[in-house]
Structure 1
Amino acid sequence: MRQEVAIKRIHYRTDEERLLIENEVGNLLKVEEDDARVIRYYMTQRTDNFYYIAMELALGTVEDYVERKQGVHTKPDMDELDNLDEISILRDSSKALEWLHQQKIVHRDIKPPNLMLVKSKKGEIVTKLADFGISKEMTASKLKMTAGVGTLDWMAPEAHMGEYQQGTEKTADIFSLGCVFHYIIFPGQHPFGDMSDRMANIQQGKPCLANIEDPKSVNVATRHLVEEMIQQDPTKRPSSTYVVNHPALWTSEQTEKFFQAVSDCIKEDKEHGPVLKKAVNEELDLAFVTELVKLKEWKKVVDATLDKGAFESYQGTTAELLRLIRNKVHHFNDISKEGRKEVGNVSTGVVNYITGEFPTLLLHVWLAAASIGITLDSLKPFYTESRPPKRLVPREQEAAEMQVLRLKTRVRELRDQLNQALTDKKRTENDLKELRVTNSSTETKLRETEARNEDLEQTIASLMARLYELERTPSATSDVGALVEAMRIANVKTHTLQRGLSEEQLETALRGLEAYRALEELVLSVPLDSTGRWLRLLPPSLRTLHVFGPGETGEPVKLGKNRRPDHGLVVVIQQAGDDVIDQLAKGLGPRVTGLNMLNCPRVTAGALQGLLSALTGLEDVTLGGSLSGAITDASLAALHGCSQLRKIQLGTPSALCTDIPVKAVSRLAFTCRKLEALIFHAMEELSQRVLDALVRADLGKSDDGTPRTLRFNVPEPAYGKLRQRSTSSIIVYEAT
């Protein structure tokens, strides 16, 4: 039978490269099972310089799938990928890694392009692992893996240095796959942030996980799984078998069986049932506060047509919600026609409907039952490792709000219990008065009532002591205060450091910003004794840095959204001289995508040239009119190395350019092929000269072959006179 295949041609130059290819071929020629979820190799042919490999034909890669979801770089003939379920991709890729690890092979280069989407013999699209050129077979001896082998963006921190602990080699693959999972469920987002900060975040174990604003919009269990997989400590990461069996990847049928097993255990196991019931009914550690309140009032949320008695026989607890699921699955045919409109015509529809209303229910029950479930035969199939799974760490604000909410709830519960105990005690005291005046036939009842009265007195004393401790103990109050303060700090986005600090003091202050995990904007004055060492301590989350010269201060510039690149760092420099500029040139690098220099008349052309030469990642640049003397042919030529430059502004409304090398501006427009806009604030005569030079220049074509166009923005009154000079390539706009 003829079969379409892909031919992979690999060029090799050295024996080392040839052995690397043979390693991949050797590993994949072993694959025979169709369900192994690994790209199959059928045959190979080798020449003096090339290997030719006949391999399974793929529709595309996971990278293609995600890019289609984002609507970018859409390749033709891939429409079949649009209906693909992302959870099935996660499920298949985890099974592929499990199979590989069972063969005692570590992949070492798991990334989106190496996960292939293949049509199976049944016509289903499945995900398979490919590219095993740098994989290694594990032996009983310690595996020493080469440092830096793999793709840095997707490698575990220990893989960068080759510092593997005995027995943790497989978990480097788990880390990489966790990064890919995040990239899939939050399309295109890497869990360790943008390119400029990614390597530092991986090394420091500081993920930038996408926030779940709406638990219905994202599989919360998948987020939990990703957190487990990308832990910095390789010994704490789960196995591939654990990943395969995590509830994030369960089918509706598996979820249904799990809920039934938990409910059956609560109902029928006299020893473990009460403990499991208590664990399940506890407040959700991982839920949003709104989700917590909603689950406690589930009878108001679930459609009443599912139950003939409108849930009158059920209490408002999580365990009772599981009992409802169990009963409705067992007696599915008894659900009314109205109820069928919500759950459909199969029993799994009950589970899908309930978990749709309560997205955190499955993960909460699975975590709550873990410590018991791993010991019970009825629940053990749902837990693949002896250790309980890691609890999902909620965002700081949610964690603080939740703990404060629990404290208030506990105080309220204790007060209610105390009031009930006092009421009961008053009732027993009245009973005692009546019993003491009756005859001796009531003596037994009298003794029982007196004993109950003594118990109530002890209960009241205990409740009062606990309530007093909770409300009055300073340490309890300070704990809550610390939580609230931590919540506030963790969500601060803008911060200003006081001026006049020495460099040592500034370094201490920057180290103290580690708790400000959401910090995006920082304002500081450079110390008089600065050497630039402090630049290495800038928070990785920072998006905008306002730098003032030594002893200077002022209002930070407010940047419009269209002047702020969507990645990297924007640096705004004010009232600084050459010494500060030189330090920034040495301490900053490609991470900087935006630069604004305002009110810097002391900066010389040499210093400006050095800074612009160092910041090769610039996409948006503003050079104020105070720099007119420093804007020379050489300094503008330094921007020729900025291949991503899209906008440049020369001058500002309050500080016009007075002396600009006109030809240098036109050369810049020609050389920087991605330049889209030149915003020019100057007198009319100078604006006219620059426009003439731009019109005479040949801008050439864009990367896609279309003629380039450039927006030339000038303010009034120059705009009124120059707008008629627009051409097909140079279009004059009014600068606002």
Structure 2
Amino acid sequence: MKGISSVPVLWGRQINLLKGDAVGDLEEGLNIGESSSGSFALEVNEVMDMDLQPGPALPPASNILPGTGRKPAALASDEKSVGKITYYTNNHLGIGADGIVFRGDFLCDDDNKRPVAVKRIELAKQSYADREVALLLKLDDNPHVVRYFCTEKDGQFLYIAIERCAASLDKCFTKENPFDLRGLKPVMLLQQTMIGLKHLHYHNIVHRDVKPHNILLKDHSDSVTVKISDFGMSKQLADGRQSYSMRSGALGTMGWNAPEVLDESRKVNPTSAVDIFSAGCVFYYVLTGGKHPFGEPYRQAGNIVDGKYNLDGLQKDKHEDIVATDLIEQMLSMEPQRRPSAESVLKHPFFWSLKKQLQFFQDVSDRIVKETSDGPIIQQLESGGQEVVRNNWMEHITAVLRKG
């Protein structure tokens, strides 16, 4: 359709008139729808000049496994195996909320191994590990949450094998060798993130540590899938409960957590809205190539408590950025109850195609024609009319539409 690629900036300003769920409600009503070398020094003592006599010759050692006729597979110097899990102590993938994550393999059957990430957790923290596994099992049917495979245990640690991904989101914004998203657009990346988060919230689970490091990227050679990971701080809310007590523990990661978590004087029991706030920070981070809405790390906590965010990395005269700004401002609201749910975020025009946005305008126009001048929709639109049209709206639309 001619002109679709030039939907005017006017839309971005108009969206400010339809706050909260108003857009979603109107749309519905219109039927628009992933050490050191651990090497050690071998100390050799000097041997005194002694007259040592050789002992009897030993038979050559055999490395054939008894009863099999087969040689065992050679082990790498850093390779450790526990049950069906093998991991490599010199190959750290990261540090989770309650343990170190190593590169490893999961023995699916006698012949097949699956590459996995192995989280090693101290036995003293078994209750935390059991909780994380229970959550992973509950969430296993969603493509945007990492898969769980098995748990093994030895005398010191528990080992949890989960799906291994190519990189975490923060690796996309490093100066040297940034991760290749293989054509995955920022909007689609954020949409997949929210689909995963919506799945958590549907099961009454609050992640409590949403940040770029916990948003993983699964490489399929020709495409990339987003997956939410690390449920070490997650909280399963009891049936019928919408919030949890601050006594439940962990704050999350400084700089990505919500104000009600940082500021105890607010006396607000946190809800799943803490994840929406963190996701809002992630949205800005992705859309601006790694910037944070609350500034430099040493200022972030204070700015979050004070509600002082800066979205200047988004252009004020660019259609896509105007729509994104509207959504991010809602997600970063100081009042948890005013933040949209994960489901509402996914319904925001930020995720609409240009064709759908244009269709929305057409349907709204058709609806307005049928409204009386004192109707609620007309009154809401007119209340911000001056801010949107700025005297002469024809001067503020694209040249293509002016010629049209």
1:254 to 352, 356, 362: 356
Give the superposition deviation at 1:124.
3.8
Q: What's the counterpart of residue 105 of structure 1? A: 205
Distance 1:173 1:38, change over 3 A: same
Residue 29 of structure 1 aligns with an amino acid whose one-letter code is L
Distance 1:208 1:120, change over 3 A: same
- Mapped partners of 2:157, 2:374: distance in 1: 65
Distance 1:138 1:112, change over 3 A: same
| Gapped regions of structure 1 (runs ≥ 5) | 305-309, 312-736
Residue 96 of structure 1 aligns with an amino acid whose one-letter code is G
- Mapped partners of 2:396, 2:330: distance in 1: 30
Residue 151 of structure 2 aligns with an amino acid whose one-letter code is T
Residue 348 of structure 2 aligns with an amino acid whose one-letter code is H
Distance 1:143 1:65, change over 3 A: same
Residue identity (%): 29
> Is contact 1:266–1:274 with CA below 8 Å preserved after alignment?
no
Q: What's the counterpart of residue 63 of structure 1? A: 170
> Is contact 1:39–1:56 with CA below 8 Å preserved after alignment?
yes
**TM-score, structure 2 normalization:** 0.63
Distance 1:55 1:273, change over 3 A: farther
2:119 to 9, 28, 31: 9
Structure number with greater CO (CA < 8 Å, separation at least 6) is 2
Distance 1:285 1:149, change over 3 A: farther
| Gapped regions of structure 2 (runs ≥ 5) | 1-107
Give the superposition deviation at 1:34.
4.0
Q: Secondary structure at the match of 1:83?
A: coil
- Mapped partners of 1:131, 1:160: distance in 2: 21
After the TM superposition, which residues 601-616 of structure 1 pair with which residues of structure 2 at under 5 Å, given as runs?
none
After the TM superposition, which residues 256-405 of structure 1 pair with which residues of structure 2 at under 5 Å, given as runs?
256-267=358-369, 269-271=370-372, 276=377, 280=381, 292=390, 295-297=393-395, 301-303=399-401
After the TM superposition, which residues 43-442 of structure 1 pair with which residues of structure 2 at under 5 Å, given as runs?
43-67=150-174, 72-74=175-177, 78-79=179-180, 81=181, 83-119=183-219, 124-139=223-238, 140-141=240-241, 143-145=244-246, 146=248, 148-161=250-263, 165-166=268-269, 168-216=270-318, 219-267=321-369, 269-271=370-372, 276=377, 280=381, 292=390, 295-297=393-395, 301-303=399-401
Distance 1:120 1:242, change over 3 A: farther
- Mapped partners of 1:191, 1:164: distance in 2: 25
Bigger Rg, structure 1 or 2: 1
**TM-score, structure 1 normalization:** 0.36
Q: How many residue pairs get matched?
A: 290
> Is contact 2:182–2:223 with CA below 8 Å preserved after alignment?
no
> Is contact 2:184–2:223 with CA below 8 Å preserved after alignment?
no
Q: What's the counterpart of residue 149 of structure 2? A: 42
Give the superposition deviation at 1:62.
1.4
Distance 1:232 1:277, change over 3 A: closer
Residue 136 of structure 2 aligns with an amino acid whose one-letter code is L
Give the superposition deviation at 1:259.
2.2
Give the superposition deviation at 1:280.
4.7
Distance 1:207 1:298, change over 3 A: closer
- Mapped partners of 2:187, 2:136: distance in 1: 26
| 1:660-714 C-alpha deviation (Å, 9 max, x unpaired) | xxxxxxxxxxxxxxxxxxxxxxxxxxxxxxxxxxxxxxxxxxxxxxxxxxxxxxx
Larger proportion of helix:
1
Q: Secondary structure at the match of 1:153?
A: coil
Runs of at least 4 residues of structure 1 off by over 6 A? 272-275
2:131 to 5, 9, 23: 23
Q: What's the counterpart of residue 705 of structure 1? A: none
Give the superposition deviation at 1:172.
0.9
- Mapped partners of 2:117, 2:158: distance in 1: 10
Give the superposition deviation at 1:164.
5.9
Residue 120 of structure 2 aligns with an amino acid whose one-letter code is I
- Mapped partners of 1:216, 1:91: distance in 2: 20
Give the superposition deviation at 1:174.
1.0
Give the superposition deviation at 1:212.
4.0
CA RMSD of aligned residues (A): 3.1
| 1:361-394 C-alpha deviation (Å, 9 max, x unpaired) | xxxxxxxxxxxxxxxxxxxxxxxxxxxxxxxxxx
Q: Secondary structure at the match of 1:241?
A: helix
- Mapped partners of 2:384, 2:211: distance in 1: 37
- Mapped partners of 2:381, 2:357: distance in 1: 16
Give the superposition deviation at 1:230.
1.2
